[in-house]
Amino acid sequence: MGALHEAHPGVVRMKVLARSYVWWPKIDKEIETWVRGCVPCQESRPAPPRAPGQTWEDTRKRWSHLHVDFAGPVRGQTFLIVVDSHSKWLEVVPVSTTSTAITVRALRKLFATFGLPDTLVSDNGTAFTSKEFLEFIRRYGIRHIRSAPFHPATNGQAERMVRTAKEGLKRLGDGDLQHRLAQFLIAQHTTPCTATGYSPVELLMGRRLTTLLDRPHPDRDPS
């Protein structure tokens, strides 16, 4: 049970994750009890959204429609959040500032790994409205959509993932930031989505990632 809850998923996501690996009688009830008794989860329960998010059409194409935003500071660190609309794959990049230069540098690294998107959705923050950013987007032939002025919550995908990232990092507690972030991301990437039944990594890459849940005895000598 501890391995299933390592990254502190909520009740619904923990049940979905458990069913993709194990089953035993009354597992749902045990999961509900476990999450209710988790102090970090109860202390960081999400607040209701401030405004209904705008719904964006699913392109049915991987890494085609991205949503970006900033989160933080969380424990003194700011993050760039990038969400793939189709797969719900989440990238959380620690950044030193929210400047255009730092933002462009982070996006370039992601594009080098996953390729160029067709569309990028952001709010009206200065990092996304500067001349340098607009030139960066134009150079790569990316369509840029900005959320309605004074209504940043209409960038719904990113808003939800910003909350998810903040809650996840807080629940992981103190310790090495990179280690906590890796724990959170592998859980997010491998937990099936309740709407599709597939995990983000399956939808984006067409395969499953091997995790500790695939190795009930990780201390055993592989040989």
What's residue 120's pLDDT? 95
Q: Do 144 and 209 reside in the same domain of the chain? A: yes
Rounded-to-integer distance, Cα 87 and Cα 96, Å: 28
Closest Cα to residue 192, out of 177, 202, 179, 180?
202
Token pair in block for residue 186: 């592998």
CATH number at residue 102: 3.30.420.10
What's residue 173's pLDDT? 72
Q: Do 186 and 83 reside in the same domain of the chain? A: yes
Contacts of 23 (CB under 8 A, 6+ apart): none
- Answer whether residue 109 is part of any domain: yes
CB 53, CB 39: distance < 8 Å: no
What's residue 210's pLDDT? 86
Q: Do 18 and 124 reside in the same domain of the chain? A: no
Q: Do 166 and 204 reside in the same domain of the chain? A: yes
What's residue 214's pLDDT? 75
DSSP 7: T
- The model's pTM is 0.73
User: pLDDT tens digits for 59-113?
Assistant: 679 999 999 999 888 888 899 999 998 999 999 999 999 999 999 999 999 999 9
- In the chain, the number of structural domains is 2
CB 94, CB 79: distance < 8 Å: yes
Q: Do 27 and 111 reside in the same domain of the chain? A: no
All residue ranges of the chain with pLDDT < 50 are: 49, 51, 53-54
Domain that holds residue 117: 65-214
- Answer whether residue 6 is part of any domain: yes
CB 7, CB 90: distance < 8 Å: no
Token pair in block for residue 152: 């940043």
